Homo-oligomer: A and B are copies of this chain.
């Protein structure tokens, strides 16, 4: 295969890159050979050599820090577990400052349409952790789409009979947005779950 075509199809497998943006990136890399192409190859090799996923929560960490700094930090609330889909969800939640407990990344979500079942995500490891680490509450911070709901429903089912509180993220209007930009489902939820000022 043509090297450029090979690079384009490789870039297409990355999240958020469609065919057209992959083409644009590939051609830029090809034309700026000297600098950015070399930097990228070196950065990728560094990640390959030094970055791993935490064996506990799945977050990205360095080879010499497993469990990661979030899992091994004694200052964090150890009774709360936040279940997310991907490691970068952890980065986003950390940036929000809204959570100070433990994490568990599933590395995906259940998707019958794409042939991904419960065994293709880290649900077994989640159940083992819940048994062992005795969390008081498990927060399911999953996507609010069909696949996220399916995954959440499956986890709720598996946790039946266990003495643990289960919660999900609130649905509502995003901050800085308005009714004009809202879809009907979100809007109905935002009204139903309205908060009372006084």
Q: CA separation between A20 and B93, bound complex, in Å? A: 13
Stretch from A44-52, A132-140, A190-198 contacting the other chain: A44-52
When C-beta atoms are compared, the residue in chain B nearest to A107 turns out to be: B31
Q: Does A15 contact B44, Cβ atoms closer than 8 Å?
A: no
Say yes or no: is A130 at the interface (Cβ < 8 Å to chain B). no
Q: Does B14 contact A60, Cβ atoms closer than 8 Å?
A: no
Contacts of A40 in B (CB 8 A): 7, 10-11, 44
Say yes or no: is A148 at the interface (Cβ < 8 Å to chain B). no
Say yes or no: is A88 at the interface (Cβ < 8 Å to chain B). yes
What is the interface size of chain A, counting residues whose CB is below 8 A from a CB of the partner?
A: 48
Interface residues of A in 1-60 (CB under 8 A from B): 2-4, 6-7, 10-11, 13-17, 21, 23-31, 33, 36-41, 43-53, 58, 60
Q: Does B107 contact A46, Cβ atoms closer than 8 Å?
A: no
Q: CA separation between A2 and B6, bound complex, in Å? A: 29
Q: Does B51 contact A4, Cβ atoms closer than 8 Å?
A: yes
Q: Does A44 contact B51, Cβ atoms closer than 8 Å?
A: no
Pick from B16, B39, B60: contact of A4, CB under 8 Å: B60
A24, A53, A62: which has the most chain B beta carbons within 10 Å? A24
Contacts of A149 in B (CB 8 A): none
Given A33-B47, A33-B51, 18 new contacts (CB under 8 A)? A3-B43, A3-B62, A6-B46, A10-B36, A13-B39, A14-B29, A15-B24, A16-B21, A23-B88, A28-B88, A30-B60, A31-B53, A31-B58, A31-B86, A37-B44, A37-B48, A40-B44, A41-B44
A interface, CB within 8 angstroms of B? 2-4, 6-7, 10-11, 13-17, 21, 23-31, 33, 36-41, 43-53, 58, 60, 62, 86-88, 91, 107
